[in-house]
Amino acid sequence: MSKDKEGQHGVQSLEIGIDILRVITQGHRSMMLKDIAAAADMPASKVHRYMVSLVRAGLVDQDPMTSRYDLGPFALTVGLVAVDRLDRIGLGLTAIAELRDEINETTALAVWSDNGAVIVRSERPYRPITVNVVTGTALNTLTSASGRVFAAWLPKSTVNPLIAKDLLTAGLPLEVRSAVAVEKMLATVRQRGVAAVTDYHLVPGVAAVAAPVFNAQGEITLSLLAIGVKSMIDLSLDGEVVRSLKRTAQALSARLGYEGCAN
């Protein structure tokens, strides 16, 4: 076999070893050799040969008491380094650009700061009438879509001080004029998996919907938004905009290592 052809085909034994590692990872607990072999659809004798090398490399560890196999210390190191090197903002910018192309609405990326949600970047749609979103815009916790999303999934100790401050604001929508109403609203956001605001009180005529993005630890780390003119954007839960937004947020969460179930 020529070197070029060998390079195209890769190293089969390495790919088999990775398949075995994938089985162990997806098992979510330590596994017996026979169970690994069955899941990998390989003879146990063949899997055992690979396990010897994987143990030596530190990618797999075997419990001497139970003979069960699990991921080893080097596998943990690789995973932690991979998570640390993930550029959540860079991935988020790609996600909102692709979402904009899909739904042809203004899209935006928001992060949480000490003062609440903040817009990091937005993408304008390919249409004459659009909603412009300024980078660095601070969003109200109770009345903005992203603010509500972060409030729904961040620890109460983080968001309660901002919520208490916002409750003093005049002219709040009915659904957020009391602490009881706010808690009910946030429960609805968690149940639906998105927060929609059909008439942002600071900018009349603008509607927005936001979805959470989670990291490998199951913590909310970003918010993706779709924004449009109230009379022109469909924010129904089964509409294209919300379905595409949720799908994009879920895909980005998975890219960041989140394994939980999304609504």
> Cα–Cα distance between 61 and 71 in angstroms, integer?
6
Domains and CATH numbers, the chain: 3-84 (1.10.10.10), 86-255 (3.30.450.40)
pLDDT per 10-residue tile (average), the chain, 263 residues:
52 89 82 92 93 92 91 81 72 95 95 88 87 83 94 95 88 86 95 88 79 93 93 92 97 90 57
* SS3 of residue 113 by DSSP: strand
Tokens 């129904």 locate to 236
Residue 138 is predicted with a pLDDT of 83
Burial (CB count within 10 angstroms: exposed 0-12, middle 13-18, buried 19+), residue 182: buried
- Give the list of residues 6+ apart from residue 9 with CB closer than 8 angstroms, or none: 1
pLDDT of residue 1: 44
